[in-house]
Homo-oligomer: A and B are copies of this chain.
Amino acid sequence: MNVALITIGDEVLIGQIINGNAAWIANAVTRIGCHVVEHCTVADETTQLIQTLDRLRTSCDVLLLTGGLGPTHDDITKPVLAEYFSDVLVESEEWMTHLHEWMRSRGREVTRRNAGQALVPATARMLTNPIGTAPGILFDRDDVIVVAMPGVPDEMKGIMTDHVLPLLEEKLLQQGAPHTQYHTMLTTGIAESSLADLIGEPSQFLGTSTLAFLPNYQGVRLRIGVTGSTQHERDRERMRIASILRERAGRFVYGHDEQTLSQVVGLHLKERNHTVSVAESCTGGLLGAALTDVPGSSVWFYGGVLTYTNEAKVRELGVSPVDLATVGAVSEEVALQMAKGVREKFGTTYGIGITGVAGPDGGSPDKPVGTVWISVVGPTDHSTIKHSFGNNRRINRERSVGAALGMLWKMVR
């Protein structure tokens, strides 16, 4: 079942807002087994919308539209669709009743502007919107389903969840045709090209499945796409591919799908009643922020120290002034002493120390911008590694956090 998404609205087109709706819808319909073929964002403009409908109807079974259903002059979706399907707008008694109730429950009256929301195409199906004033509108013509939804994310999600996803699932079930589902394995501590070499030529084991390499600051994600007519078939194929990948690169795999390194590390720590604290220099709090991004992290994260000056490193973490004067703040010795110092200060199972040259200034021939020393100290073990990232301050900081979490994961798993 081929699905295309059409986003209508200048505010998305000129980049005023990021199109989170498209990602949400694409993810939701892919999960149930639909095949998304295109996202298209167009202006609040009749001709362009009609051309887009014409074009996508020839290759798709379902068109999902968002935006342009509001009460102001630039909301064109409803009249354009009515015209496109040779329909007329009529006042819906049912929706007018809903509007009155909705307004009354908020201590407001239905104004003339709002009343326009009850005008709907005569032959369309209305999809109730529990949290807003604009209903979703569904046309089913010539085996193509066209659904228009409001652009407000929560209203769109409500209509998708209550109406559109169940309808599509039913259609998919009726078809019984093979469809594709996606799963992700998350790796850390290995570069994209090395991972590809480790896994070998994908065509030799993929069959009808697909494999994509998706790098980010925490590692490389492996996205597996499996196709089959039944859930059983798809599950079997997924397990086949996953077991090959695990056999070849399993030691780098820390989780799956939407998990983060912080979440996985947190799970391991919690399970063992272990705790962690952080001593950050160049990352300035970014590692603490990543760890505490996890709800409930207060059970295993005790705190940390941000030491942006040498004095603070000595005073707060017991770093040796002699080492600072001789080998310097960005060194193996100082990273290790920071990790040990914070571990002791907070009485945690693990301590992490990060010190580096984030840039753009502060680099030298032997310690260029991007040089970052990271140390993780545990009860029986410690590991201190020099990383050489690049010239970009933000990326150096993000990659330092990813690397530190990866090192911690290796020790706690």
Residue ranges of A at the interface with B (Cβ–Cβ < 8 Å): 7, 10-20, 22-28, 30, 36-44, 48, 55, 70-74, 105-108, 111, 113-114, 130-131, 152, 154, 158, 182, 184, 191-194, 196-197, 202-203, 210-215, 223, 225, 278, 280, 282-293, 295-298, 301-309, 312, 316, 346, 358-362, 368, 370, 388-395, 397
With A27-B16, A42-B38 given, is the CB distance from A309 to B303 under 8 Å? yes
What are 22 sample pairs from A and B whose C-beta atoms fall under 8 A apart? A10-B210, A12-B39, A13-B36, A13-B37, A15-B28, A16-B223, A17-B214, A38-B48, A44-B212, A70-B213, A71-B196, A72-B212, A105-B388, A113-B193, A114-B193, A131-B390, A280-B288, A284-B288, A284-B289, A284-B292, A305-B305, A305-B306
Query: Could you tell me if B18 and A19 are in contact, using CB atoms closer than 8 angstroms?
Result: yes
When all copies of this chain in the complex are counted, the total is 2
Task: Contacts A283-B292, A285-B285 known; list 18 others, CB within 8 Å.
Answer: A12-B26, A15-B23, A15-B24, A15-B26, A18-B22, A22-B41, A37-B43, A39-B40, A72-B213, A105-B388, A111-B194, A284-B285, A285-B292, A292-B358, A293-B393, A293-B397, A302-B309, A303-B305
- Nearest to A288 among chain B residues (CB) is B285
Query: Could you tell me if A13 and B42 are in contact, using CB atoms closer than 8 angstroms?
Result: no
Q: What distance in Å separates the Cβ of A216 from its nearest Cβ neighbour in chain B? A: 9
Q: What distance in Å separates the Cβ of A236 from its nearest Cβ neighbour in chain B? A: 21
Q: What distance in Å separates the Cβ of A90 from its nearest Cβ neighbour in chain B? A: 21
With A285-B285, A286-B285, A360-B295 given, is the CB distance from A130 to B13 under 8 Å? no
List B contacts of A113 (CB < 8 A).
193, 196-197
Bound Cα distance from A11 to B390, whole angstroms = 25
List B contacts of A303 (CB < 8 A).
305-309, 312, 316
Bound Cα distance from A388 to B108, whole angstroms = 10
Bound Cα distance from A202 to B297, whole angstroms = 46
List B contacts of A287 (CB < 8 A).
285
- Nearest to A342 among chain B residues (CB) is B306
Query: Could you tell me if B312 and A308 are in contact, using CB atoms closer than 8 angstroms?
Result: no
